[in-house]
Amino acid sequence: MAVFVSTYETSLDSKGRVSVPAPFRHALEGGTRLYLWPASDGSPCLEGGGDALMATYRQTLSRMSPNSKARRVLMHRIVSKAADLKIDDTGRIKIPETHLAMAGVEKDLIFVGSMDRFHIWEPSRYAAFDAEMDGLLDEVQDDIEAPFNAALASGGILGIVGGEES
């Protein structure tokens, strides 16, 4: 399963292309396609991933009633607004102008890992989001610790046994 971590600052070249960070290309496990859409949580950025993430959405959608409102919203928010991009031989993509505008990107941008997906932010928007998330840490600490501790107690975290690394 793809894992996107860390942040990478970069910019569009003179032809509007951007190099996908090498660790993100590696996380695609040989895939040469990326999908980008407006962030599903409404954040002012783009969200994206590779074939594995799209397979997860396909599986999710297949389990929903074809006529459900939730399915229509998910289809509209992600599938109908997604750009299907091919990574070229040098690791670059060309993000459509409409998508750049949605994220407020003019030249500089930041790739931000989010485990099974990544986000593309305009730097000042990301700085505001980053500060907001830092400010929420105390408020959500228990919500973070409870599932982690439950996974740890059940032996569900590879490489960590009983709270100690193995």
Query: What DSSP string runs through 95-159?
Result: --HHHHHHHT-SSEEEEEEEBTEEEEE-HHHHHHHHHHHHHHHHHHHHHHHHHHHHHHHTT-STT
Are the C-beta atoms of 25 and 48 separated by less than 8 Å? no
What is the arithmetic mean of pLDDT over 2-31? Answer: 95
Cβ neighbours for 63, distance < 8 A, ≥ 6 positions apart: none
Asked if pLDDT for residue 157 goes beyond 80, the answer is no
Asked if pLDDT for residue 154 goes beyond 50, the answer is yes
The domain spans of the chain are 7-121, 124-166
* Fold for the domain defined by 7-121: Chemotaxis protein chec (3.40.1550)
**Which pLDDT tens digit goes with each residue over 52-87?**
999 999 999 999 999 999 999 989 989 999 999 999
Q: Which helix (H) or strand (E) holds 86?
A: strand 83-86
pTM: 0.86
